[in-house]
Structure 1
Amino acid sequence: MVFSAWPCILPAILFFHSSAVPVLANTEKVIFRGPETVNIPPQKPSLQDLHIDTLTPTPTLTRTTTNTNTNTNIAGRWRGKVAWFLLDGLREDQRYEVRLCWPATQPTAFTLTTHTLPAVFATEELITSLWEYSLSRFPAHASGHLLDVADDTPPPPPPHEREASILFLRIAAAADYFSTNATLMATPTPVDVDIILDPFLLGVLPRSLAPTAAYVVVVAAVSYLVARHVVLAGLERLVLVRLGAVGLAIGADAGEKKKKKKKKRL
């Protein structure tokens, strides 16, 4: 009797496939290693005064809206509208990945680059772009007095001197489509994006993709068991059929021999 494992295996297959959620999105990423630590002094102006969002390797997802434009790369300038982020809490020489996802219904060309603090402050084009973006975060203070924030928001606690491995992330976004709508081409619709700073596990696999890898391994293992069961069951049936055929042949041969013996006796 052949035991069928399908009643046990099919529910597992249905469970894993029902857990998969279809997603229509585009992805852009940049892979890098944590730089050498630098001294972050507590004196003003500090990195906090730039008022840019900070990404850390904690398992969180940053959801934001990015403005775009339809400008192309002219005279060596970056293509698209630029946004800056601070990557903090890195470990020196640890491998990381910044992954940016946005809806496929919003065609956009993104360019992601990382820069060390010394490189940004030593390059006029980089520091100018960072300063312009920082000012754009507070239009009311676009006169240049970025530190003179006159509102009711309590000031953040004063920073302490520390050694840290940090990077600047620059994201340039440009609308990747053409429309006869002049208004849309002049002011493209802002794009909703998800940004993830992901450390690599053992320098091989991004941490947030570990569950997906585990899912693939489990599905592969279940598929192997199913295939093995089907093959073994088929082989077992084939062997039984062959044995039955051999048995019938032997029985028929024995019957013929008995008939011949009876004829000789007669």
Structure 2
Amino acid sequence: MAASGLHAAAAPAPAPSVPPDGSLQASMAPSHAGADMGAIAEKLNDPTASLISLPFQNNFDWGAGPDGDGFQYKLNVQPVVPIDLNDDWKIIWRTILPFITQEDVIGTSDQTGLGDLNTTIWLSPNKKHEGQPTIGIGPILQFPTATDDLLGAEKWAIGPSFIFVHQKHGWTAGILANHLWSVAGEEDRQDLSVTFLQPFLSYTTPKHTTFGINSESGYDWENEQWTVPLNVFITQLVKIGSTPVSFQLGARYYAEAPAQGPEWGLRISVTLVFPE
């Protein structure tokens, strides 16, 4: 999720790896303003919410590579834009563009550049009933935008994506799933067939603080290999000027990874929120 650790809406690549301040707002009672921030905090935990956001997710991973001393930094820029189709339905456009720099992850070489871009387009109900779950379904696409062969798959890929979310009394639970198959690209690169599963659970307090846990797991069918990172995180929503901003700090442990995959990592995220 964009600000609560739900981000990696896309299957893992094979390479190792927010109103202006106005007179009405200025005259609002503090309790109303607090209620608005509380609603935003909970919406940030719901990938199907009607909320424009721009997360900048900084991921740091250690322990990869043949000698176990490799390091990777990945900045995921993840704009989320909901678009109303009519009173009943909307689409949610989610994109992930990674910038990667890594050392000693693949042999003793270093790489820096863009990774492959992923886009998910969900169709989701526009009306949400309190206490009732909601879903989104649609395609996911991967584009070979990597600027270094070792930072991407060099494949065009497509597949289905699904999201289920249930929120009640500050709790958010759900699962995001997708699968990517390669359909074109460099013939000398391995085909893609990757399943991504992200179960998530979080709780948001009246102070707009969220505590959560998730797993951004992937299964590579071509290599019969799981990657299972377990993430725990804390998120705080604040207002800077008139803009709500979410800050997140998280830690990650890889319960399962490829032979030369990472062992542990950290995440620091900043999300700009643009309420309607």
Task: Please give the TM-score of this superposition, normalised by the length of structure 2.
Answer: 0.20
Higher strand share: 2
Higher helix share: 1
RCO greater where, 1 or 2, for CA within 8 Å and sep 6 or more? 1
Mark the structure with the bigger radius of gyration.
Answer: 1
